[in-house]
Copies of this chain bind each other. A is one copy, B any other.
Amino acid sequence: MNTPLTYAMIGGGAGAFIGEVHRKAIALDNTATLVAGALSSTPERSLESAKQLGLPDNRSYGTYQELLESESSRSDKPDFIVIVTPNDTHYPIAKAALEAGFHVVLDKPATHTTEQAEELLQLARSKSLLCCVTYNYTGYPMVREARALLSSGELGPLRKAFVEYHQGWLATDLESSGQKQASWRVDPTRAGLAGALGDIGTHAENLLAFITNQEPHSVYATLKTFVPNRALDDDASVMINYESGAHAVLTASQICIGKSNALTIRVHCELGSIEWNQEAPDNLIVTKLNANPTTYTRGGPDLHQDTQLSSRIPAGHPEGYLEAFANIYRGVADHINAVRTNTEPTRLAQLIPTMTAGKQGVRFVEACVESSNSNSVVNL
């Protein structure tokens, strides 16, 4: 059994959405305990948020710099730092946290530029620290089943994939109403180069890479902005070429009225196919050549070990988004425990997304933006 871990959080104060998700995901499996925080962009709000979360005064900080300085010198310093600040601050904070010697869990997208991502990647590597990027959709058990099926070779080589991430909540100019989630996502200074592509397209790209175990060789992308006066794309369509000759179509859009969080993937190989839908995540449809479609279910028969390890409760008792997210954190904890005990990382630890994936996502966005601007194919 693992020793209980502790963590500090940067960002995720009152009113933030994703910080609360991280905390619940960590709490669900009793993976770690929150012991310190610098939770908001102003010292006052940071301290107020820390109080609401019941943090002791001496571990509630006004800024991330104070947190890192103070916590890194404690004998009971936290095992890892969770960074859930707006995109534009990921790079400096993650860099500082790694330099202070902490394992880091960083919300996606990792950074604004590939260079920044590469720097964090090298920094983590040189200090033997984890820098996990929370591509949380890879935490779903049946996504892991899909990956295991493709890895096993029984479906044959990849031919064609379709991955979509469609939402409808930005079909109107919600940002002009002051809605917080909308505002930063459409602001280039905070969101970065891309809108929908960066916010959700990178999840789609990562899901595709995770399942197929292949990286794009070149892309042709068209980015569109349908809502008037919006600065960034709210709709992206990408064709992906692989060196193997395989091909994929990726679309990410936030103007699809009727869609909530419709992340779906279909992967067609030479000997079979898989199909998965994030809104019905416990199922995976598998069809082998000349056979009928079969619905595999979390908790059901014939599943790979990675899938079984990523599941808590029996088939038919739905697990969801938070449980998938929590699987990432179980892997983080397993990684840290493996480092501590100098043992082999568990399967769960091996499945977590790291800065390698984070960098890949940033590079993908850059290439797509360049392709769309130049109306030409761009190599990654």
Binding site for B on A (CB under 8 A): 1, 4, 17, 20-21, 23-24, 27-30, 52, 54, 159-160, 162, 164, 167-169, 171-172, 220, 222, 224, 226, 235, 237, 239, 241, 245, 247, 249, 251, 253, 255-262, 266, 268-273, 275, 278-282, 285, 287-297, 299-302, 312-323, 375-377
A79 to chain B, nearest CB (A): 16
A29 neighbours in B (Cβ, 8 Å): 24, 27
Q: Is the CB of B375 within 8 A of A289?
A: no
Residues from chain B with Cβ under 8 Å of A320 in the complex: 317-320, 323
B237 touches A247 (CB 8 A): yes
A226 touches B159 (CB 8 A): yes
28 A-B pairs with CB atoms under 8 Å apart are A1-B52, A4-B54, A17-B314, A23-B30, A24-B28, A27-B27, A27-B30, A28-B322, A160-B255, A162-B251, A168-B268, A168-B273, A171-B268, A220-B220, A220-B222, A237-B247, A249-B251, A257-B287, A260-B297, A260-B316, A260-B317, A261-B317, A278-B316, A279-B318, A292-B296, A292-B300, A295-B295, A318-B320
Are A316 and B261 also in contact (CB < 8 A) when A237-B239, A292-B297 are? yes
Answer whether A247 and B222 are a contact pair too, CB < 8 Å, given A21-B313, A296-B292, A320-B319: yes
Which 4 residue pairs across A and B have the least CB separation, nearest first? A260-B316, A261-B316, A258-B287, A318-B320
In the complex where A28-B28, A30-B27, A220-B220 touch, is A235 in contact with B171 (Cβ < 8 A)?
A: no
- CB < 8 Å: which of B1, B301, B321 contacts A318? B321
Chain B residues whose CB sits within 8 angstroms of the CB of A268 once the complex forms: 168, 171, 253, 255-258
CB distance from A276 to the nearest CB of B (A): 12
A1 to nearest B CB, angstroms? 7
Bound state CA distance, A271 and B294, in angstroms? Answer: 17
Closest B residue, CB atoms, query A172: B289
Write the chain B residue with the least CB distance to A298.
B260
What's the number of copies of this chain in the assembled complex?
A: 4
In Å, the complex CA distance between A30 and B320 comes to 18
Q: Are A321 and B319 in contact (CB under 8 A)?
A: yes
How many angstroms from the CA of A296 to the CA of B291 in the assembled complex? 9
Residues of B with C-beta under 8 A to A266: 256
Query: How far, in whole Å, are A256 and B168 apart by their CA atoms in the complex?
Result: 28
Are A258 and B275 within 8 A (Cβ)?
Answer: yes
Q: Assuming the A-B contacts A52-B1, A235-B247, A258-B275, are A226 and B27 also in contact, with contact meaning beta carbons closer than 8 angstroms in the complex?
A: no
Which of the residues B247, B321, B377 comes within 8 Å of A375, measured between beta carbons? B377
Do residues B321 and A322 form an inter-chain contact, with CB atoms below 8 A?
Answer: no
Cβ B172 vs Cβ A316 within 8 A: no
Q: How far is the CB of A217 from chain B (nearest CB, A)?
A: 13
CA distance A271 to B30 in the complex (A): 40
* Complex interface: chain B residues within 8 A of A52 (CB): 1
Contacts of A28 in B (CB 8 A): 24, 27-28, 322
What residue in chain B is nearest A140 (Cβ atoms)? B318
Residue among B162, B289, B323 making CB contact with A171, cutoff 8 Å: B289
B297/A295 in contact, CB under 8 A: no
B292 and A260 form a contact (CB under 8 A):
no
Contact of A260 among B270, B299, B321 (CB under 8 A): B299
- On chain B, the residues within 8 Å of A169 by CB distance are 314
A280 to chain B, nearest CB (A): 6
